[in-house]
Amino acid sequence: MNDIDAVTLNFSSGSLVLLNSILAVIMFSIALDLKLADFHRLVKAPKPLITGLVSQFLLLPVLTYLMIVALQPQASIALGLILVAACPGGNISNFITHRAGGNTALSVSMTAFATVAAIFLTPINIAFWGNLYGPTQAVLRQTSIDPVSVAITVVFMLILPLCLGIVLNFKRPDIAERIRKPLQWLSMGIFVAFIILALAANWTYFLDFAGLVAVYVVIHNGIALAGGFSIATLVGLSQYDRRSITIETGIQNSGLGLVLIFGFFSGLGGMAVVAAFWGIWHAISGILLARIMARTEAKR
């Protein structure tokens, strides 16, 4: 078996451009669900949004660090978990929140705000928490990760399409309504196909390490979901809002994680397998959780 910390996965520059493009289309389709009224409501009652952002960018990285210190995974796996925790909410969180009977408007707005905040907070969280843990600190020293480059990547891949989607929905809501669902399903289908093809190109490595990584990812995802639910409960949010924050914290933008891993960490094996497995597992756990939640109507 190969040493996961020494493995570099096969991923061409052309594949990276394609992944960037897919994620941009996904963010554009998510933005088509956003209306200015959603933001106005959150400005008047910001507590759920602030709680969600604290859960996403502060609580989850703290819980991730504590998990890493307790379980002592190999360096590249640990850094992969830190990087995933530093990413904003995932692109399927809105769909899963809707299926769970949660506050979909809050979920969509959290995705938007977290995506903007990721320009600054994602590179800060990776650097801060990665440097606190000895083995990952050594990996970061060997890596040229420029916060400005990360910010530029996030702007062009996530922020720009998000803004374009909001503008289209405001200016031409008829067009936005017509293309919203087909675009969301098409982009998600292409993304899933892309992940499958990327795994196929690295199947030997995936078979070698999937079992080891799966344990960490499942525990990490469980901690993320539990953390989101706990903080929303502690601050006294309604069941309707709690479902949104729970799912938003537990569904991470692993696609962005893969872009950063291949763009700045040269496709480091443990990190890439963590992000790829997250992309599969969080969809499974989110849909299962949504089915459980949907059995009872959420109190508002």
Give me the residues paired with residue 252 across strands: 89
pLDDT given for residue 7 in this prediction? 53
The one-letter code for the residue type at 109 is S
Give the tokens for residue 168.
Answer: 């289209």
Whose CA is closest to 268, among 260, 279, 277? 260
pLDDT given for residue 57 in this prediction? 94
Residues recorded for the chain: 300
3-state secondary structure of 146: coil
pLDDT given for residue 59 in this prediction? 97
What's this model's pTM, rounded to 2 decimal places?
A: 0.83
Give the tokens for residue 153.
Answer: 């990547």
pLDDT given for residue 205 in this prediction? 64
Q: Which residue has the tokens 């639910």?
A: 229
Using alpha carbons only, how large is the chain's radius of gyration in Å?
18
Task: Give the DSSP letter string of 152-172.
Answer: HHHIIIIIHHHHHHHHHHHH-
Q: How many CB atoms lie within 10 A of CB 273?
A: 29
How many helices (H) and strands (E) are present in the chain, helices listed first?
Answer: 15, 0
Residues ≥6 apart with Cβ < 8 Å to 91: 23, 26, 27, 30, 111, 188, 191, 253, 255
Whose CA is closest to 294, among 228, 240, 225? 240
Helix (H) or strand (E) holding 262: helix 254-264
pLDDT given for residue 1 in this prediction? 43
Task: Give the DSSP letter string of 68-82.
Answer: HHHH---HHHHHHHH
3-state secondary structure of 186: helix
pLDDT given for residue 60 in this prediction? 97
Residues ≥6 apart with Cβ < 8 Å to 45: none
**Burial of 282 (C-beta count, 10 Å sphere; 0-12/13-18/19+):** buried
One digit per residue, pLDDT tens: the chain, 300 residues? 455 555 555 555 566 677 777 777 877 877 777 676 666 767 777 899 999 999 999 999 999 999 999 999 988 899 999 999 999 887 778 778 888 888 887 888 888 888 888 888 988 999 899 999 988 888 888 776 667 777 777 887 778 888 888 888 888 888 888 887 788 777 777 777 776 766 676 666 666 667 778 899 999 999 999 999 999 999 999 999 999 999 999 998 887 888 888 777 776 767 888 887 887 788 889 889 999 998 888 777
Q: Confirm if 30 and 184 have CB atoms less than 8 A apart.
A: yes
CATH topology for 4-293 is Na+/H+ antiporter like fold (1.20.1530)
Euclidean distance between the first and final Cα of the chain, in Å? 52
Q: Confirm if 241 and 80 have CB atoms less than 8 A apart.
A: no
In sequence order, what E strands does 12-79 have?
none
